[in-house]
Amino acid sequence: MKSDEQLEVIAEESKEVILYVNGVRRVLPDGLAHLTLLEYLRDIGLTGTKLGCGEGGCGACTVMVSQYDQNLKKCLHYAINACLAPLYSVEGMHVITVEGIGNRKHGLHPIQESLARAHGSQCGFCTPGFIMSMYALLRSSQTPPNEEQVEESLAGNLCRCTGYRPIVDAFRVFAKTDDILYTDLSSLSLQEREFVCPSTGKPCSCRSNSETNSQCTSEQGIACVKKVEPVSYSEIDGSTYTGKELIFPPELILRKSNTLNLSGFGGLKWFRPLRLQHLLELKSNYPDAKFLVGNTEVGIEMRLKRIQYEVLISVTHVPELNVLHVKDDGIEIGAAVRLSDLMKVLRKVVKERAANETSSCMAFIEQLKWFAGTQIKNVASVGGNICTASPISDLNPLWMAAGATFQVIDCRGNVRTIAAENFFLGYRRVDLARDEILHSVFLPWTKPFEFVKEFKQAHRREDDIALVNAGMRVYLEKKDENWVVSDASIAYGGVAPLTISAKTTKEYLIGKSWNQELLQGALKVLCKDILLKDGAPGGMVEFRQSLTLSFFFKFFLWVSHQIDGTDSDKKNVPLSHLSAVQSFHRPPVIGSQDYEITKHGTAVGSPEIHLSSRLQVTGEAEYADDTPLPTNGLHAALVLSRKPHARIVSIDDSRAKASPGVEGIYFSEDTPADNMIGPIIADEELFASEVVTCVGQVIGVVVADTHENAKLASRKVQVEYEELPAILSIQEAIHANSFHPRTEKWLKKGDVDLCFQSGQCERVIEGEVHVGGQEHFYLEPQSSVVWTMDGGSEVHMISSTQAPQQHQKYVAHVLGLPMSKVVCKTKRIGGGFGGKETRSAVIAAAASVPSYLLNRPVKITLDRDTDMMISGQRHSFYGKYKVGFTNEGKVLALDLEIYNNAGNSLDLSLAVLERAMFLSDNVYEIPNMRIKGNVCFTHMPSNTAFRGFGGPQGMLITENWIQRIAAELKKSPEEIREINFQGEGSILHYGQKLQNCTLAQVWKELQLSSEFSKARQEVDQFNAQNRWKKRGISMVPTKFGISFTTKFMNQAGALVHVYTDGTVLVTHGGVEMGQGLHTKVAQIAASAFNIPLSSVFISDTSTDKVPNSSPTAASASSDMYGAAVLDACEQIKARMEPIASKHNFSSFAELVSVCYMSRIDLSAHGFYITPEIGFDWTTGQGNPFRYFTYGAAFSEVEIDTLTGDFHTRVANVILDLGFSINPAIDVGQIEGAFVQGLGWVALEELKWGDLDHKWVPPGCLYTCGPGSYKIPSLNDVPFKFHVSLLKGHPNVTAIHSSKAVGEPPFFLASAVFFAIKDAISAARAEEGVTGWFALDNPATPERIRMACVDQFTEPFAKSDFRAKLSV
């Protein structure tokens, strides 16, 4: 170690651009200004940090950055999104990635260990991001954080697999709950056999030895953490942590910051000034330069909007722009101050100053809480948010309302002050001359009886952009017993191209008394003051207009409530109205899991953790995009159609060929063999040749030396189109008779017409249901690496796919090779959910063409927006029903027509429709049924498989008419459901007989555990006492058939090798995508040989090991591959038996060794076919399913009727899974499916450019990234989330009496949807509107709000208003 003096000399002289990564000093060369930190980290081999979206919306790329603050003289640690951070922005800092905190060789960090043990990692792609968010929180906290801080720190991280509950449980260990545990571990004298339970934070004995049939509640049995000791906190050296942390490099403490003048690709210049004077000089030299702090806006403009900036100036190191000064008359806030720093100061100020001074500070704190994820708030700046001048900025309406002023300085040093409300001039235009910059913001203290309030409504509460937001201020003075408005300000965002002030309303308010008369008058003025035209960008016009009134009404009640505290005699706000002003406070998630363990042999039945969880939590698990490319490797980008239906007139690729780094461009004529592909029928082109039939159809592929160069070149290909008429919805397809050929299907039972005519039906209802689609949003985008071998005669690939055999088939087909010369391998995939079953093969095939023709490796990884646009979604459906029933509610006849939107190719759409038809009875006995199904051809990207495969859509249509019957008869839907249940021996509408039906047991158990009748009373009581918040409850059952409905696909192969050291290698045809398939298969093999689970290893799925395998789908993989592996194990055991019976061996290894010496074959190929299945569409009879998985869910929700906001208070889910092979993994599947289903029914809305969304270009997907498409975040998880497995009902028809789990729970989230509908009914009843009403999924805030009719929706919509939905 050099002495301090030497270090100081080095630091003084050094003009190097340096960065420490995981403790290693790295010198950055010039010329990298275009790179992000993420690209750099992945280029140097640190692939634990993942690219999920590229726009800071998913958190998969989270890393921790540490820097030394010279003023505070301490280290600051914070989490950031590496995908947005420019590489040079972290110069002089220490970056710690997931690899830097722990690994398998040197030991896991307690955070990693805890997450692995709590089953918090399924596919593992999002895991490093969660680990780093939590790690940054712990490193930056002086004292252990509380549970709320833990959950808040994860707001910027998305997970699609787990449903979040196990992640929260894992990290709760580190929250401060019980002091003694954290201050003195030894005093607890934990014995060797005791464990610390993360759900209670106390020692527990739930890991007892009596495992068989022991009951495990609150998942203590598995979540217990053996070694997680409390973590202590240390500023710099990290030595007081449990285990050693990476210290902050001493060089960086002593080093003085330098000015930076660097360059990047394409002549990009990067400056980092250290003084305001230097910054102003740069501004005068480069008046069009972009200023950066966190790059959260400019980064997105450059990457997603493709705007090219020449000069970037990082202002993070300019001290004058980083001031945060609390003065006597207010706070001065430098323009470069980070939002998280602002939040800290505001929180401190609120604690220290009189409450009447900090009303606006409180409003900012609340608004910042929901502003964005932690990683964004840690880098985004106050000035950046203001000068971007976004019309939906959350803070700008508040600056305007709170009377803030902005200090602006020009290049000559002249300062002027401008009021916030005059600063915004137009769409993204502000009052700054070319030579001016925003210097600081001044926020004045509020006066007594001056009230400031924030408002925001978004699709999702957490980390989402606003649909409408507002800032409101009013200053009241007492005159003759009345409160009179002496000043006011009302500003809205999201209702115009800029943040606007409601000036007429303000003038109306001033001088009037604060009472009901003022409220009614102001609402009338507001209607005219804020106007939105039909077809305004963003749509939802009626909803957004009603929000402007709702917000003002809430503000009026809130202010009245504030002054109620001062006037003791009269109350302005009735108690039932208080619900409108209470701010939302979310309790921590509480989960419980109830199951019994039925052991079989050494491993089956045991709640083991995911086999690769320890690799996933350390970032060592490899995915397709982590595969290193050799030096001659190329990157591919697709040339895509920009029209929904058009003839290609010409293609000009000359500019693209001249683009830097380009090695080749390939179109349909370059395909070596056949250009036509398709999983069932070859009805789509690999590269469009003459006509394009959707936006995003692949026209060609470009390969270049880097991913960025390939994308740049692909955008330079000029395609000239001749547009043709396009069909963009199911309704248009029906109207134009546009169906895929030979896809009309019928199922019949009884005589529907006779039943309707005979008069048996006392009542008949008719209606229609629109079912919205859903994006898969697997965290790992589509990715493949293709290379040739042996002089180009063989092709190998590593792909992120659920169907390696499909990739092998497609690539062999387009290249004209035999399948025996094409190999596809898949180690694991970062989520699939059906989206990587067929559509991934198209992308691999496109990349295989240049790889084969150039004889070079090619990697293709889609950007998130491209992936969402071209790879297909869950099918939207349209159902028309006619139902006949008795006055008691017994269903007698159903006549149903269902249509799904297939898009521009058939893909799997017919099979999806068939499953929807099979499951259209859900669990109800219907004596007479007729179902007609049709597959619509539209000019949209081909839709594809998605968890449930049409089943949820079919069942949702059913539950809609069940609800309608209940409304007609004024009974509860639960009662109608129960009297129509199927039972043992029921014959279904396709001839299958129900056997081992556990529906009644599941339903009864759920009624008891959720105390349904008590919950109903409590909800009714709550609704009677609250006018503007309503609660609703619902109970929904499901029955899901298990098998591929196409008979030949129900086959599985496996290969088992036993080695002489007693270890076992298994390869099977299934793909591990987070669902725990490999773990379950390993447990089956371990139990078969009676060896520990650690002796079994599952190799990657590969088409040269197990041929002709079906896709990993239909929930059936554990059944099929487990049985195939068991078959192989039994063959080997049979061969070993003669030797095993002769001697008494001390170990399995010893037995194997003797067998080997005796020349016994220790390798076997196992095979399984699902028996007793088959369906004949010509007769409409057969057994398409091997068995059914039954389940039911209870849900309680609370909605805000004024804004449409909702949250799930309780979810109680029960499934019959027989004797589970791994109950912990099964519970994880249930929770993940439920939360994903919750997204489908309540959050995730796809918006396409169609007749209902004319503000989107025709055929284009508007919601093509996490910025506009919202999957559930941690904040959407039910407050109380209970999962239980039915006990004592083995399933005789599957391996080890287990049942399939992947898809069945998905539909149960519809309980949330129908609970929302129940709550809306209570709101409508307040206005005297009763009876059935239509509610489409997803039940977004728009649909909830507009269904809750009241005086604020009346000016804009009728009570039967139906929001527009892309189907």
Instruction: Give the residue numbers annotated as catalytic, written as ranges.
Output: 1303
The answer to whether 1072 and 828 are in contact (CB under 8 A) is yes
Cβ contacts of 1293 within 8 Å, gap of 6 or more: 996, 1186, 1187
The residue type found at 877 is: F
Given the structure tokens 């599985």, which residue do they identify?
1052
Given the structure tokens 């949807």, which residue do they identify?
1313
The answer to whether 365 and 347 are in contact (CB under 8 A) is yes
Q: CA–CA distance from 789 to each of 664, 825, 855, 962, 1039 (Å)?
A: 20, 15, 8, 59, 48
Q: CA–CA distance from 1109 to each of 341, 1006, 1114, 1172 (Å)?
A: 55, 38, 14, 20
Q: What are phi and psi of 221, to 5 degrees?
A: -55, -25
The answer to whether 936 and 733 are in contact (CB under 8 A) is yes
Q: Positive or negative, the Cα torsion across 935, 939, 942, 948?
A: negative
Q: Report the SS3 class of residue 1322.
A: helix
Beta bridge partners of 1163: 1057
| Greatest alpha-carbon span in the chain | 108
Written as six digits, the tokens of 1226 are: 């099964």
The DSSP annotation for 198-264 comes to: TTTSSEE--S-S--TT-EE-TTHHHH-BSS-PPPP--SSS-TTSSSPPPPPPHHHHHPPP--EEEEE
- The DSSP 8-state label assigned to residue 1065 in this structure reads E
Tell me how crowded residue 395 is: count the other CB atoms within 10 A of its CB.
Answer: 27
Put the strands of the sheet holding 718-723 in their side by side order. Answer: 691-692, 646-652, 718-723
Pairing of strands 1181-1183, 62-69: unpaired
Task: For residue 674, give the nearest of 795, 822, 814, 809 by alpha carbon.
Answer: 814
Written as six digits, the tokens of 714 are: 């692909």
Task: For residue 283, give the nearest of 257, 259, 315 by alpha carbon.
Answer: 315
Given the structure tokens 């491993």, which residue do they identify?
603
Q: How far apart are CA 26 and CA 92, in angstroms?
A: 10
The residue type found at 704 is: A
Which class for 1171: exposed (0-12), middle (13-18), buried (19 or more C-beta within 10 A)?
Answer: exposed
Written as six digits, the tokens of 1213 are: 């889910």
Written as six digits, the tokens of 1323 are: 């709101």
The answer to whether 961 and 976 are in contact (CB under 8 A) is no
The gap from C-alpha 557 to its chain's centroid, in whole angstroms, comes to 35
Q: How far apart are CA 71 and CA 260, in angstroms?
A: 21
The answer to whether 531 and 548 are in contact (CB under 8 A) is no
Tell me how crowded residue 984 is: count the other CB atoms within 10 A of its CB.
Answer: 12
Pairing of strands 928-937, 891-903: parallel
Q: How far apart are CA 807 and CA 823, in angstroms?
A: 9
The answer to whether 122 and 1074 are in contact (CB under 8 A) is yes
b/e map 1037-1063, b = 16+ CB within 10 Å? bbbbbbbbbbbebbbbbbbbbbbeebb
- The DSSP 8-state label assigned to residue 939 in this structure reads S
Pairing of strands 311-314, 268-272: parallel
The residue type found at 49 is: T
